[in-house]
Structure formats: C-alpha cells, structure tokens
C-alpha cells in the first residue's frame, strides 16, 4: 500500500498565460520529495495533475482513496489545492500541505482540509511525519519540527523550524520517473520543436527584494557541486534525450567560481545543451557572459523590475539600473538573448518612475520583456509594509494573493495601458537597434506607444479603493 500520495492542483488547461506559451514543466519539489522518501524506504505515488482537469483529478483520487495525501500549493494553485484536500478529507484521508504558500496561511489551510502544514523543505519533515502519523495519528505532533497543526483548543500550533538539508549532493535526483515526463516533452516538441527538461543547481537566494517570497528556503543559499549537477544532466540525457534545459534557479550565476568549475566539468564530459535561466545584473560580468555562452545559454532573464533607481532602492533590490542596461548589451554581444522582468505598480511608484522604466527599456532594448502588476505576497516584507492598505481578493479559498491590491494606487486599467506602453517602448528600442527594420514596423510601434500613452493619461486619476 502507498504510504503517501503526493499531488498538486496545477491544471495547464486552466492557465491561459501558460496555454499561450505552452512550455510546461513538472513540479520539481514533489519529485525531490518522492525521491527522498523512496530512498528512505517509503512507498510513494505522485498524482501529477498538470494535464488533467479538476474532474479527472477528483476521479483519480476517488479511485485511489489514499489514506495519506501530501499537496503542494502556491499562491496560484491555492483554490484547486484546497478543493482536492476537501475531497480527500471527505474520503477519510489525512492531508498534509506543503510548498511556498501554506506556511504563510497556516490557519486558512488548516481550516480548508489540511491536518498538517509543512513549512520549508518537505523531505526531512515528511520522512519523520509519515511514520509518526501511522503510529500516533494526529496526536503529539509537537514532536515534529517544521510543521503547523491545530491544537486541542482549535488554535494553530507551530513547532520549531526544521533544519535545512545540509548536503544537497547527498540527496537523490528528482524522481522524474514517477510521472509521465514524456507528456511534458511531447508538449514542448509539438509547440516548440524541442524537448526541454528543468533542473535546479542550488536552493535559496540570499538577496532581499522585499516583495519576493522566501518561505521555503529562507535567505539561505546552498549549492550542489558541479560534478553532482553534471551527473544529473547525464542521467537526464540518458533517459530523456532532451534538446535543451532550463535551470530553474533563482540566480543561476550567483557564484562565479562555481560557474567556472561547472563549465569546466561540462566541457570535460563533452556535455553542452542550449539552456535558459535567470540572474541579476550584479551577478554578471564579461567573464560570466563568456561562460554562459560557452555552456550553451541561449537566453538569460535579468530581473530588472524597474528602470527607476528610486524604486529599485525602495524594493531593496540592490541592483543598478544603468549597469543593467550595460549587462543586457553585454550578453547580447555574446549572442545570448536578454530577457527582463518588469514590475509595475510598486508602492510609491509615480508617473515619472514609469517614464524612467520606459526609457530604460528603450535604451537597453532587451529581446524579451515580461511585465507584471505588483501584488503583495503574504509573508514578504512588502506585504507587511502595505498591510493596512491591502484590498481585493474575496473569499480566501477562491482567491489568490495575485488578486490583492493596495488602496490608493492607480487602477489595474491604468497599469494595463502602462504594460502596453512599456511593450511598445521596448519594441521601439529593438527597432532602433535594428538597421533593417522597416518603416511600417516603426510606424506601428510609434502608434501603439502613442495610443497606450493617451489611454494612460485618460485613466491617470483612477485609483484602487478599499
């Protein structure tokens, strides 16, 4: 019999943003947990919901009737995760929640089907919790570190934090064999002509961007050895024959010495895959750009967030807008596409700051730009700062932190126009850098910029209300 069934509530079919790009990846956290628990001798099953819909997921759970279920949840999958939990509970299962969101809303998750909420890494905690639950049920949970549960009085009890895994190299590779990874690869191949596999080389980010969630790994940073990562890439090559990789790390180039060693190890083994990943401007320089190119990097996302130094400083991002522009040019000079993330609507952002961001995009002409409208994630310093002005959302179990807004800031309508304006401005930057760009393209981009600008102006007095 299965000791634990692991699942999540992500349904690709319900995700319009992801359906537009069709670049799905599996939930690595669950694959890591499964590998660890199996190595400890537990019997584990993963119900991967990515290619299902809610009805199919509920039917699969009803057929399996697992006595113990572990559910991954993040702020977007909350609603689905608690629905799955409710169904499992109704069928008599014990439900454990984990992932980046549940520990920040322990009371709510416990009120919506959860018996236990695990905070941080799940591997060591579950390896202790599973036999504990089998022996003692929900009694004496205070013995297990790293969890929250309901006390006898109904209040939420939190046990001391769980120590993090010290040696990541000693951990087994993610249990990709537990799911139908080929389905992900086929989806990639159909839509993009390539098979792409994700992996991570480290855990945790020591930086302090105040809107970013650190609920799983805190501010720790632990790296795997270059040899261990290369071993995993060889295993991925032998099993899945991918065409490319995605290093799903927070800041892939965080340590230059590590990158040097990793590049040397990959070269020694004759391994080279096109890949994309994320970094920060302060973790790039000419040598790092050369190493990335040597390793096969075809696109690097440089988290920019804003072109206004004032806003970057307010975010405690510890990056420099002018240097960001230089780094975009640097990676492009090595034949690597430069992607950048922009966040609009950070608390205190003014019209002048948005202008600065547009100027930044036009000057630097990144190849790809992803813009989000800021929202306060529970558990972050940003959430605490704006807590008394947070509005939006609705019923917790049907909503998400992404629906939260800050009273007094400009309306979503305004920011949607601003998003379009920034997209047009970065297009103009790219066209200016391209001597072959036709007049018609330029005229279209100017028109789109002007239209969005007028729409921004027309909505400039619209603000969010409580």
Token duo for residue 352: 């002048």
Choose from ligand SF4, ligand B12, none: what does 377 bind? Cβ within 5-8 Å by kind. Answer: ligand B12
Burial of residue 324 (CB within 10 Å: 0-12, 13-18, 19+) is: buried
Comparing CA positions, the residue from 66, 61, 62, 84 lying closest to residue 10 is 84
Q: How far is the CB of 129 from ligand B12 (least distance, A)?
A: 8
Which backbone phi and psi does 177 adopt, to 5 degrees?
-70, -15
- Cβ–Cβ < 8 Å for 281, 305: no
From the list ligand SF4, ligand B12, none, partner contacted by residue 232 (C-beta under 5 to 8 A by kind): none
40 binds ligand B12 (CB under 6 A): no
Residue span binding ligand SF4 (CB under 6 A) among the ranges 82-90, 188-196, 207-215, 223-231: 207-215
Stretch that binds ligand B12, among 99-107, 131-139, 151-159, 291-299 (CB under 6 A): 99-107
Near ligand SF4 by CB under 6 A, which window of 114-122, 202-210, 388-396, 402-410? 202-210
Q: Which does 303 bind (CB under 5 to 8 A by kind): ligand SF4, ligand B12, none?
A: ligand SF4
**Burial annotation 262-297 (CB, 10 A radius, 16+ → b, else e):** bbebbeeeeeebebbbbbbbbbbeeebbebbbebbb
Per CB under 6 A, the list member of 114, 120, 303, 307 interacting with ligand SF4 is: 303
Q: Tell me the closest approach of the beta carbon of residue 367 to ligand SF4, in angstroms.
A: 20
What is the residue-wise DSSP string for 170-228?
GSPPP-GGGTTHHHHHHHHHHHHSS-EEEE-SEE------TTS--TTTTT--EE--HHH
Judged by CB under 6 A, the residue of 101, 115, 175, 250 near ligand SF4 is 250
C-alpha closest to that of 25 among 44, 10, 42, 41 = 10
Check if the beta carbon of residue 334 is closer than 8 Å to that of residue 364.
no
Q: Is 281 in the site for ligand SF4 (CB under 6 A)?
A: no
Number of residues that this document lists for the chain: 466
In the bound complex, which residue of the shown chain has the CB atom lying closest to ligand B12? Answer: 98
Token digits of residue 37: 């628990």
Span near ligand B12 by CB under 6 A; candidates 119-127, 386-394, 430-438, 442-450: 119-127
How many Å apart are CA 54 and CA 9, to the nearest integer? 8
Quick check: 383 binds ligand SF4 (CB under 6 A)? no
- Indicate the residue among 265 and 276 with the shorter CB distance to ligand SF4: 276
Find the shortest distance in angstroms from Cβ 32 to ligand B12. 5
State yes or no: residue 10 binds ligand B12 (CB under 6 A).
yes
Buried b (16+ CB within 10 A) or exposed e, 183-195: ebbebbeeeeeeb
Q: Applying CB under 6 A, which of residues 3, 108, 115, 121 lies at the interface with ligand B12?
A: 121
Q: Out of 46, 71, 141, 331, point to the residue binding ligand B12 (CB under 6 A).
A: 71
358 binds, among ligand B12, ligand SF4, none (CB under 5 to 8 A by kind): none
Surface-to-core class of residue 136, CB atoms within 10 Å of its CB (0-12 exposed, 13-18 middle, 19+ buried) = exposed
User: Could you say which of ligand B12, ligand SF4, none residue 251 binds, taking C-beta under 5 to 8 angstroms by partner kind?
Assistant: ligand SF4
How many Å apart are CA 77 and CA 378, to the nearest integer? Answer: 15
3-state secondary structure of 280: coil
Integer-rounded Cα radius of gyration of the chain: 23
Does 245 bind ligand B12 (CB under 6 A)? Our answer is: no
CB of 372 to ligand B12, least distance (A): 5
Residue 360 interacting entry, from ligand SF4, ligand B12, none, C-beta within 5 to 8 Å by type: none
Interface residues toward ligand B12, by CB under 6 A: 10, 15, 25-30, 32-33, 70-72, 74-77, 96, 98-101, 118, 121-123, 126, 198, 200, 212-213, 215-216, 248, 250, 372, 377
Interface residues toward ligand SF4, by CB under 6 A: 205, 207, 209, 212, 250-251, 280, 303
């Amino acid at each position: 019999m299965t000791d634990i069934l692991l699942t999540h509530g992500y349904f690709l079919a319900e995700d319009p943003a992801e359906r537009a790009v069709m670049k799905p990846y599996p939930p690595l956290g669950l694959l890591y947990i499964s590998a660890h628990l199996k190595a400890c001798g537990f019997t584990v099953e993963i119900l991967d919901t990515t290619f299902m819909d809610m009805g199919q997921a509920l039917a699969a759970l009803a057929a399996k009737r697992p006595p113990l279920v572990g559910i991954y949840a993040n702020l977007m999958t909350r609603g689905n995760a608690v629905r799955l939990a409710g169904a499992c509970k109704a069928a008599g299962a014990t439900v454990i929640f984990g992932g980046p969101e549940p520990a920040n809303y322990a009371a709510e998750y416990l009120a919506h089907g959860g018996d236990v909420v695990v905070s941080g890494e799940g591997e060591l905690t579950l390896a202790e919790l599973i036999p504990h639950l089998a022996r003692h049920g929900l009694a004496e949970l205070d013995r297990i570190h790293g969890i929250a549960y309901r006390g006898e009085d109904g209040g939420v009890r939190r046990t001391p934090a769980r120590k993090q895994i010290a040696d990541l190299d000693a951990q087994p590779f993610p249990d990709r064999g537990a799911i139908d990874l080929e389905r992900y690869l086929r989806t990639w191949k159909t839509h993009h002509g390539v098979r792409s596999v994700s992996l991570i080389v480290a855990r945790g980010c020591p930086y302090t961007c105040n809107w970013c969630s650190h609920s799983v790994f805190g501010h720790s940073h632990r790296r795997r050895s270059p040899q261990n990562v290369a071993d995993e890439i060889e295993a991925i090559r032998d099993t899945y024959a991918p065409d490319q990789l995605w290093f799903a790390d927070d800041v892939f180039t965080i340590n230059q010495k590590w990158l040097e060693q990793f590049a040397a190890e990959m070269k020694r083994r004759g391994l080279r895959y096109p890949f994309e990943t994320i970094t920060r401007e302060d973790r790039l320089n000419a040598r790092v750009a050369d190493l990335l190119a040597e390793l096969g990097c075809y696109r690097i996302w440089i988290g920019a967030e804003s072109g206004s130094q004032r806003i970057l400083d307010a975010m405690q991002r510890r990056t420099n807008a002018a240097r960001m522009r230089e780094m975009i040019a640097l990676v492009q000079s090595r034949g690597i596409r430069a992607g950048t993330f922009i966040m609009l609507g950070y608390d205190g952002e003014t019209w002048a700051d948005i202008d600065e961001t547009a100027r930044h995009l036009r000057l630097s002409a990144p190849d790809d730009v992803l813009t989000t409208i800021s929202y306060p994630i529970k558990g972050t310093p940003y959430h605490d700062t704006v807590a008394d002005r947070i509005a939006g959302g609705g019923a917790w179990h049907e909503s998400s932190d992404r629906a939260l807004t800050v009273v007094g800031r400009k309306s979503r309508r305004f920011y949607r126009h601003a998003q379009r304006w920034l997209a047009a401005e970065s297009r103009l930057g790219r066209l200016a850098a391209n001597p072959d760009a036709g007049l018609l393209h330029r005229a279209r981009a100017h028109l789109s910029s002007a239209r969005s600008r007028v729409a921004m102006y027309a909505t400039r007095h619209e603000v969010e209300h409580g």
